[in-house]
């Protein structure tokens, strides 16, 4: 077997790209990205193929993720057609695309995938080298691409992280320690800027947080494998970033998509970080409670990024791990850059083995009505005023004034964890204060208080999952309105909002949208309004009565095992039972 001409690097994405069907499709010249499959051949037109109205299709395609699937298929089958396909693809790319054609972040991701795929092919017993002349050509092209990236580095944020990590990998793969060490130093500086002191990435997108964290964890893994010293500042930011990753993960292992991104399973990343950092708490979350140790904390706040988590347990308190309750309250800044959604005071809630209300995701970056819908305020589990966005819409980075949110307080006591936040918008005079009460580690009471000098139309939106489409019912009763969905119930007591079911979407991945119902709780034609929603996972029924007296709202929730009385006010909340 002819050895690879590259030094080996650690790949953290390999197990995500082991799909034989994807490899077979690539061998047939078919490629699927952004929900669209195109047949382009094994020597395609790399410059012009793609989707006319959304450049993301070509952006993802030219990164050639399929190379990892092809390598995996070659290793496990020995079928030379998989290797020949990759050779055709990369050779034709070199023929057609200049080193400076694509943006540096796209080139950086392609370089990573080329390195991972090439070394993957080289591990196969059937591998006897690339076709004549291709190895030398690829080495020259990798070097040229890396030099172009280094000379045109993005100035900040996640693209810069990606580019520096790719330069670090290229230095290691080419045996250029000086290049690798320089890239590692710059990557450390960037991590210290981009990972805030509470651990949240500066763009305030959970998906981009995880993507950046994967690069940083990969840098630690590769530095140690190469015998390089890992900067202490880098380790510090990785630990902080892992704290966020740990606590925003739902009990089903999925990280919800807050702002731009897709809901995704990053347990493989947590498992890698657990081993590298000696973090048994990460191992516990990565294995859903089968290895490691349960994290110490359940009610956690990240005050700079504005993520506030409520959790019933880690499968260590008599309830199965996947059955635990989980909520995340987004009460922070939009984030730096253009990936932040207009979703302040939004929540995502999970319980009894399923998401109860979800963030719908991003769907697209193309500047159209669907980009606006998924990014706008109405596309989130918060209150919409006069059908306006909290911040005036732009597909990318906002211009002018933006909405501001802040946490007013958190109160935690026996059977009750209460978060209270407030958002003000430049688009209207109404001020929205939301109180999220997590009761008995089991269900939620959400009180939305709207105050304004002029009348408005208010609507609290609750986005259900795609599984609720066609199986959600509304029951209007004199004392309350109940919405029953597969994951649980939403109950609105009389006098605290008019309830309707409307249509919406959720996007499990870029370019894919599925129909899903929205529960809209409205209060129209007034300046001051109070909306109360009780959200209960599972099938247990409840009767809800709410009253308001002065600054206090009292909510009584009666279930077969008793009645909870929760009093919410500007002072410390109270819980009693009867």
How confident is the model at residue 3, as a pLDDT?
A: 41
Whether 569 is in a domain gets the answer no
Full DSSP string of 103-144:
-HHHHHHHHHHHHHHHHHHHTSTT---PSTTHHHHHHHHHHH
How confident is the model at residue 6, as a pLDDT?
A: 86
3-state DSSP assignment of residue 215? helix
Instruction: Give the whole-angstrom CA distance, residue 184 versus residue 162.
Output: 12
pLDDT in tens, 282-301: 999 999 999 999 999 999 99
How confident is the model at residue 4, as a pLDDT?
A: 54
How confident is the model at residue 2, as a pLDDT?
A: 40
Q: Which residue do the tokens 């004034």 mark?
A: 401
Instruction: Give the whole-angstrom CA distance, residue 564 versus residue 398.
Output: 43
Residue 72, token pair as written in the block: 């995996």
Whether 99 is in a domain gets the answer yes
* φ and ψ of 311, to 5 deg: -145, 140
Count helices and strands in the chain by DSSP H and E runs:
13, 25
Instruction: Give the whole-angstrom CA distance, residue 45 versus residue 47.
Output: 6
Whether 177 is in a domain gets the answer no
Question: Where is the domain boundary, 152, 173, 195?
Answer: 152
Whether 445 is in a domain gets the answer yes
Question: Where is the domain boundary, 152, 175, 191?
Answer: 152
Question: Where is the domain boundary, 117, 152, 187?
Answer: 152
Whether 231 is in a domain gets the answer no
On whether the CB atoms of residues 109 and 166 are closer than 8 A, the answer is: yes
How confident is the model at residue 576, as a pLDDT?
A: 85
Number of independent structural domains in the chain: 2
Q: Which residue ranges in the chain fall short of pLDDT 50?
A: 1-3
Q: Decide: pTM greater than 0.85.
A: yes
Whether 166 is in a domain gets the answer no
How confident is the model at residue 569, as a pLDDT?
A: 85
Structural domain harbouring 141: 1-152
Instruction: Give the whole-angstrom CA distance, residue 409 versus residue 70.
Output: 52
Instruction: Give the whole-angstrom CA distance, residue 493 versus residue 577.
Output: 19
Whether 574 is in a domain gets the answer no
Whether 341 is in a domain gets the answer yes
């Amino acid at each position: 077997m002819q050895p690879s001409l590259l030094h080996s690097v650690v790949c953290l994405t390999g197990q995500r790209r082991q799909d034989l069907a994807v490899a077979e499709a690539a061998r047939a010249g078919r490629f699927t990205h952004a929900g669209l499959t195109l047949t382009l051949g094994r020597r395609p037109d790399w410059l012009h193929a793609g989707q006319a109205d959304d450049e993301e299709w070509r952006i993802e395609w030219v990164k050639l993720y399929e190379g990892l699937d092809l390598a995996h298929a070659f290793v496990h089958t020995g079928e030379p057609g998989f290797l020949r396909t990759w050779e055709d693809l990369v050779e034709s790319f070199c023929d057609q695309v200049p080193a400076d054609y694509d943006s540096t972040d796209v080139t950086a991701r392609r370089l990573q995938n080329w390195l991972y795929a090439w070394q993957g092919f080289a591990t196969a017993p059937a591998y006897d080298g690339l076709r004549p002349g291709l190895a030398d050509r690829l080495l020259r092209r990798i070097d040229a691409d890396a030099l172009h990236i280094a000379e045109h580095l993005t100035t900040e944020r996640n693209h810069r992280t990606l580019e520096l990590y790719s330069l670090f990998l290229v230095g290691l793969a080419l045996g250029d320690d000086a290049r690798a060490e320089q890239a590692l130093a710059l990557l450390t500086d960037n991590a210290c800027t981009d990972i805030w002191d509470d651990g949240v990435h500066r763009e305030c997108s959970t998906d981009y947080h995880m993507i950046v964290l994967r690069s940083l964890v990969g840098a630690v893994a590769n530095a140690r494998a190469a015998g390089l010293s890992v900067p202490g500042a880098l380790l510090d930011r990785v630990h902080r970033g892992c704290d966020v990753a740990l606590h925003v993960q739902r009990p089903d292992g999925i990280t919800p998509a807050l702002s731009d991104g897709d809901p995704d399973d990053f347990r493989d990343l947590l498992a890698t970080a657990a081993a590298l950092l000696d973090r048994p708490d990460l191992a516990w979350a990565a294995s859903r409670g089968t290895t490691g140790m349960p994290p110490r904390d359940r009610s956690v706040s990240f005050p700079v990024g504005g993520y506030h988590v409520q959790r019933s347990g880690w499968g260590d308190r008599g309830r199965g791990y996947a059955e635990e309750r989980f909520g995340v309250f987004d009460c922070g800044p939009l984030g730096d850059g253009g990936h932040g959604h207009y979703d302040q005071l939004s929540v995502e809630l999970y319980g009894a083995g399923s998401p109860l209300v979800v963030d719908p995701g991003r769907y697209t970056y193309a500047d159209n009505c669907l980009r606006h819908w998924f990014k706008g305020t109405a596309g989130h589990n918060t209150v919409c005023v006069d059908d306006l966005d909290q911040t005036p819409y732009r597909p990318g980075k906002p211009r002018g004034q933006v909405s501001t949110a802040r946490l007013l307080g958190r109160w935690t006591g026996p059977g009750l964890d209460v978060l209270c936040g407030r958002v003000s918008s430049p688009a209207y005079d109404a001020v929205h204060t939301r109180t999220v009460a997590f009761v008995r580690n089991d269900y939620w009471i959400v009180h939305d208080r709207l105050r304004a000098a002029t009348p408005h139309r208010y609507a609290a939106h609750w986005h259900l999952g795609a599984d609720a489409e066609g199986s959600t019912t509304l029951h209007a009763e004199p004392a309350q309105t109940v919405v029953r969905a597969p994951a649980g119930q939403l109950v609105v007591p009389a006098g605290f909002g008019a309830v309707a079911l409307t249509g919406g979407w959720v996007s499990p991945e870029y370019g894919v949208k599925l129909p899903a119902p929205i529960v809209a709780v409205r209060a129209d034609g007034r300046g001051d309004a109070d909306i109360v929603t009780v959200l209960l996972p599972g099938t247990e029924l409840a009767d809800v009565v709410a009253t308001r007296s002065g600054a206090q709202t009292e909510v009584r929730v009666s279930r077969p095992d008793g009645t909870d009385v929760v009093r919410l006010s500007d002072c410390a909340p109270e819980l009693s039972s009867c």
